[in-house]
Amino acid sequence: MAEIRSLLALRHLRSESTSFIARHRSGQLARTGRGLSFWFLPYAASIAEVPCDDRDLAFLFHGRSSDFQDVVTQGVVTYRFSEPLKVVERVDFTIDLRAGTYRKTPLDQVDQTLTQLAQEMVLGYFVQTPLGELLRAGVDPVRERIQEGLAGSAALGAIGLEVVSVRVAAVSPTSELEKALQTPTREAIQEQADEATFQRRALAVEKERAIQENELQTQIELTRRQEALIRQKGQNERWKATEQAEAAAIAARAEAERSRLGSETEASSIRVVEQARVEAERDKMAIYRELPTGVLLGLAAREFAGKLQTIEHLNVAPELLGPLLARLLEAGTDRLEGRTRPGAP
């Protein structure tokens, strides 16, 4: 807004560059322009200030579709006063010459006019279109309707108002209707989610079954291999026992053969020794058979004497000593005479 200062009877106005000032004096337009600064007499002046910057007008319209369903749309209309002199002529933008504020509410009046025009265009589109088509079409048809309608409005052109842009945020039914419309989609999505859950569970069950079958096959394979291992171990043990038995049999046969050979050798040695002994005894007996009785008695006495360790008493009977002495004398005589008797030593 313009800034007004007082100096005695005079007053000074200073406006912003975005404000258009129209000064009337004595009922005549005296001065116009943007960002003006001047002195004036309040008793002979009337000043109007029109903002020339872009202004936003938010709207929220409730309408009804052709199938009698409530529809809500909301958005923002951006506008500006491209011809301020026109709006000054049609709308009261006069400011208070003491405070610099509007004496009335011109901007509210312009906003109301703009809102009513936009609402008329939107509601006219709603009543011609069913709800499903409105929702499928989205915000673009609503924005085009508002922008084209406001741009071609003679009422807005008469006050020099230009629509810069129109932005529509949403076109939606009421919350209850929206929930009702969302129910089939939600049910379909839920059904798809349930189906996905069922498929996931079925896949999990199938995988679990495959895992269990794999584990069972693994256990069967392990059991088969264990059985084969046990069978192989048994065969190895039997083979080992057979080999050990055969080795023991071979060792026993070898030992028996060695024992037999040793026994035969020993028996042969014993036979040889015994045979030699027998032959020696036979030869000795043959010799003894040819010896006279006295010699045999002498040899027996010598042998007997060799067996005795101590002789404490010796009794010689005269019957034994006489014949011995006689034979000794005969033997000596024969030696002296050089006669040799058969069987003499």
Q: How far apart are CA 46 and CA 86, in angstroms?
A: 16
- Which CATH superfamily does the domain covering 3-173 fall into? Band 7 domain (3.30.479.30)
C-beta of residue 171 within 8 angstroms of C-beta of residue 71: yes
Helices of type H across 34-174: 84-90, 106-126, 131-137, 140-151, 154-158
Q: What is the pLDDT along the chain (345 residues), one digit of tens a residue?
A: 788 888 888 898 888 888 999 998 877 888 888 888 888 888 888 899 999 999 999 999 998 889 888 899 999 999 999 899 888 888 889 988 888 888 889 999 999 999 999 999 999 999 999 988 888 888 999 999 999 999 888 888 888 899 999 999 989 888 888 787 778 878 888 888 888 888 888 888 888 888 988 888 888 988 888 888 888 888 888 888 888 888 887 887 877 777 777 777 777 777 777 777 777 777 777 766 666 666 666 666 666 666 655 656 556 556 655 666 666 666 666 656 664 444 444
Q: Which helix (H) or strand (E) covers residue 293, if one does?
A: helix 293-307
Q: Which helix (H) or strand (E) covers residue 198, if one does?
A: helix 175-290
In degrees, to the nearest 5, what angle opens at C-alpha 217 toward C-alphas 214 and 221?
135
> In the prediction, which pLDDT does 344 show?
43
Q: How far apart are CA 41 and CA 97, in angstroms?
A: 9
Length of the chain, in residues? 345
Q: How far apart are CA 219 and CA 197, in angstroms?
A: 32
Neighbours of 334 (CB within 10 A): 13
- Please write the tens of the pLDDT for every residue from 5-48: 888 888 988 888 889 999 988 778 888 888 888 888 888 888 99
Q: How far apart are CA 299 and CA 291, in angstroms?
A: 10
Using DSSP, state whether 298 is helix, strand or coil.
Answer: helix
For the chain, the structural domain boundaries read: 3-173, 291-306+317-345
Neighbours of 158 (CB within 10 A): 13
Which residue from 112, 117, 211, 131 is spatially nearest to 172, judged by alpha carbons? 131
Does pTM top 0.85 for this prediction? no
C-beta of residue 80 within 8 angstroms of C-beta of residue 164: yes
Q: What is the pairing mode between strands 70-81 and 55-64?
A: antiparallel
